[in-house]
Amino acid sequence: MQSNILLVEDDISIQEMVESYLTKEGFVVATASDGEDGLAKFMQGSFDLVILDIMMPKIDGLEVVRLIREKSAVPILMMSAKDTDVDKAIGLGLGADDYICKPFSMIELSARVKAGIRRSTKYSVPPKVDDKNIQIGDLKIDTINYTAWKKGEVIKLTSKEFELLKLFAKNCNRVFSKAQIYNLIWNEEYYGDENVINVHMRRLREKIEDDPSNPVYIKTLWGIGYKLEVM
């Protein structure tokens, strides 16, 4: 079955090159030349992966990511000529899944596209059983009664630790920046004090991981944030 890809890129030469290559690779590619058109096409269609440039007219790529994430968990691959940690942190923090810097090879782009689709369709086991219960590996989470188990044994979590675990479990493979975590869990503006988050993350890992120094569940993306990884 062919995979459908939405390519949003305002540079027509790059757009045509990527579209041609991915079409030859067997993908069905829809294109848009600005963020507004790209968002409209996404809302009207059904796609297995979205490729987005960051710098675009009308609506930039970061805003498109944010708006897509309000509706869908579709894999998003961002493209940009700006190769800085800040750009990567912002893009991934908003919900993008991967990032590739221009100029890039078509072979690398194709590999990233295939990996993104593969993670979302073959290797990612949907963690949600229903709105109440989530099962991920040895972890079971009851989101209504604020109870979690590891290998059948109850894990004693504080309310903040449970909220952290629930946030990650409901958004597997999505990266959250520390600012986003603080805003969502503490409901306050983040002013750069990492200590509160670091302490809670360390305590949570000590309770859910067999080896907190080599976590299996919640992974750190240095300089970006955290995600609960499901392969």
**Are 177 and 217 in the same domain?**
yes
Is 128 contained in some domain?
no
Is 153 contained in some domain?
yes
Domain carrying residue 195: 133-228
CATH classification of the domain holding 140: 1.10.10.10
Output phi, psi for 114, to 5 deg: -65, -40
Is 144 contained in some domain?
yes
- Cβ count near 114 (within 10 Å): 15
State residue 128's pLDDT score.
47
More confident residue, 119 or 142: 142
**Are 115 and 20 in the same domain?**
yes
Is 177 a residue whose pLDDT tops 60? yes
Class of residue 125 by CB neighbours under 10 A (exposed 0-12, middle 13-18, buried 19+) = exposed
Rounded to whole angstroms, the Cα distance separating 142 from 140 reads 7
**Structure tokens given for 15:** 């757009």
Query: pLDDT-based confidence at 127, cuts 50/70/90?
Result: very low
75-99 mean pLDDT: 73
- Contact between 6 and 38 under an 8 Å Cβ cutoff? The reply is yes
Last residue of a domain, one of 100, 123, 146: 123
**Are 115 and 137 in the same domain?**
no
State residue 50's pLDDT score.
95
Q: What is the pTM of this model?
A: 0.57
State residue 9's pLDDT score.
94
13-17 mean pLDDT: 95
Of 54, 49, 116, 110, give the one whose Cα is nearest residue 81: 54
Is 159 a residue whose pLDDT tops 90? no
Is 169 a residue whose pLDDT tops 80? yes
Question: Which residues are paired to 4 by β-bridges?
Answer: 28
**Are 22 and 69 in the same domain?**
yes
**Are 116 and 149 in the same domain?**
no
**Are 117 and 15 in the same domain?**
yes
State residue 2's pLDDT score.
80
State residue 164's pLDDT score.
93
**Structure tokens given for 212:** 């907190």
Domain count, the chain: 2
Query: pLDDT-based confidence at 186, cuts 50/70/90?
Result: confident
**Are 217 and 108 in the same domain?**
no
